[in-house]
Chains A and B, each alone.
Chain A
Amino acid sequence: MATKTKRKADNKKSLNNALINATVATINTTVENGEKWQELTKKLVKKSEPVRRKQMDMVFETATAVKNQVTTGKDRMLDLVGYEEDMVERAFEYASNTTVGKKVMDVAENIKEKVTENPMVKKVEKTTEDLKSKGTAKLNDIREDVLGQAKKILNKGEEMVEKALDTKKTAKKVQKNVAKAKETVKATAKVATKKASAQAKKVATTATTVVKDDLKLIKGIGPKLEKIFNENGIETFAQLAKASEAKIKSILDKAGPIFKNANFTDWVKQAEAMAKAVVTSKKA
């Protein structure tokens, strides 16, 4: 029994081995055959290459030939259709010399005459002329207006510039006046000292000399205002400089309506400057 089963197992084993061998052999053969097909394909692809190249060359050669033909056709068409400069004139002359052309020209001339002689057309022309003249007149008016306004603006600007320059000049004038005042003060001081020394002998009492300043040196103060100031107790620059605004205003109010609105702040400043100048000159 044991030998039987052993035999059976051996048989199975050997059969299995045979089948495995057969399968391996089949697989190997299939692979080999596949390799053969691959080689064939490679060979055929290589063989087909010159054919494909030839086909491509043919296509491109044909395309080039067609392109050249189109180009020459275009050039010749331009040459045929294109015209010379005097060709139109010659054509016009030729057309106008024919009987039909002459008739057409006559008709056109007649139409032109009729149109120009038409009263409606004349009216339209006249109205356009009127409109044109009116427009130009209006334009000139506007231009003149604009020019006048521009001139006014220019004048105003010039005035403003002059005023600005004047303020500079007044400043210079004030400086000059100060110098003048210094000189006058010096002179008056000299005279006063001389007079004082002369009178000192005559008069025993101490002589008090009151120096009266020339208020007219201040810009804006004339002889009339100087008189008014003197009458109200302001005779020197220092007095004017020290005087209060209310006092000056009351003096000016009394002087009359002309001096009522006078700008006296500038006078005070000038008076201060001149007073200082007088003091320094006296010290000197």
Chain B
Amino acid sequence: MATKRTKQTLVEKVTNKALGLATKANDFALTTTEKAFNTSFIVANKSLDLTNKVIKKGLDITATQQDLVFDVLHGVKKRIVKN
């Protein structure tokens, strides 16, 4: 009778242990994933800020370059017209 009881509890014990372990592993995976994603979001945000700044500065540079080219061309034109 005693052997019967031990057999039954063994199945239950194994199942419970296995399930507990699986849950723990899952929770660990969940928290890790969340952390990883949060970090990636922060990094992406920062990189976006940086890219935005770089692009804006680049556009400013191209605008000044364009103005410079046209100013020079205008000056040349004025000189030609004068002559």
Chain A residues with CB under 8 Å of chain B are 11, 14-15, 18-19, 21-22, 25-26, 29, 32-33, 36-37, 40, 43-44, 47-48, 50-51, 54-55, 58, 61-62, 65-66, 69, 72-73, 76-77, 79-80, 87, 94
Q: Which residue from chain A places its CB closest to the CB of B81 in the assembled complex?
A: A87
Q: How far is the CA of A50 from the CA of B48 in the complex (A)?
A: 11
Are A47 and B23 neighbours in the complex by a CB distance under 8 Å?
no
Are B12 and A18 neighbours in the complex by a CB distance under 8 Å?
yes
Q: How far is the CA of A37 from the CA of B32 in the complex (A)?
A: 12
Are B11 and A22 neighbours in the complex by a CB distance under 8 Å?
yes
Question: In residues 6-54 of chain B, which contact A (Cβ within 8 Å)?
Answer: 7-8, 11-12, 14-16, 18-19, 22-23, 26-27, 30, 33-34, 37-38, 41, 44-45, 48-49, 51-52
Are B26 and A18 neighbours in the complex by a CB distance under 8 Å?
no
Are A26 and B19 neighbours in the complex by a CB distance under 8 Å?
yes
Q: How far is the CA of A33 from the CA of B44 in the complex (A)?
A: 29
Are B12 and A58 neighbours in the complex by a CB distance under 8 Å?
no
- Total number of B residues with any Cβ neighbor in A under 8 Å: 38
Are A69 and B63 neighbours in the complex by a CB distance under 8 Å?
yes
Interfacial chain B residues near A29, Cβ < 8 Å: 19, 22-23
Are B55 and A40 neighbours in the complex by a CB distance under 8 Å?
no
Q: How far is the CA of A21 from the CA of B12 in the complex (A)?
A: 8
Shortest CB-to-CB span from B55 to chain A, Å, is: 5
Q: Which residue from chain A places its CB closest to the CB of B33 in the assembled complex?
A: A40
Q: Which residue from chain B places its CB closest to the CB of A48 in the assembled complex?
A: B41
Q: How far is the CA of A33 from the CA of B19 in the complex (A)?
A: 11
Given contacts A26-B15, A26-B19, contact A80 B26 (CB under 8 A): no
Are A72 and B11 neighbours in the complex by a CB distance under 8 Å?
no
Q: How far is the CA of A72 from the CA of B12 in the complex (A)?
A: 79
Shortest CB-to-CB span from A75 to chain B, Å, is: 10
Shortest CB-to-CB span from B36 to chain A, Å, is: 10
Are A47 and B81 neighbours in the complex by a CB distance under 8 Å?
no
Shortest CB-to-CB span from B46 to chain A, Å, is: 10
Are B45 and A15 neighbours in the complex by a CB distance under 8 Å?
no
Q: How far is the CA of A191 from the CA of B50 in the complex (A)?
A: 144
Q: B66-77: contact bitstring with A at CB < 8 Å (1 yes, 0 no)?
A: 100010011001
Are B62 and A33 neighbours in the complex by a CB distance under 8 Å?
no
| Interface status of B79 (Cβ within 8 A of chain A) | no
Shortest CB-to-CB span from A48 to chain B, Å, is: 6
The answer, among B8, B73, B77, for a CB contact under 8 Å with A14, is B8
Q: Which residue from chain B places its CB closest to the CB of A66 in the assembled complex?
A: B59
Are B70 and A51 neighbours in the complex by a CB distance under 8 Å?
no
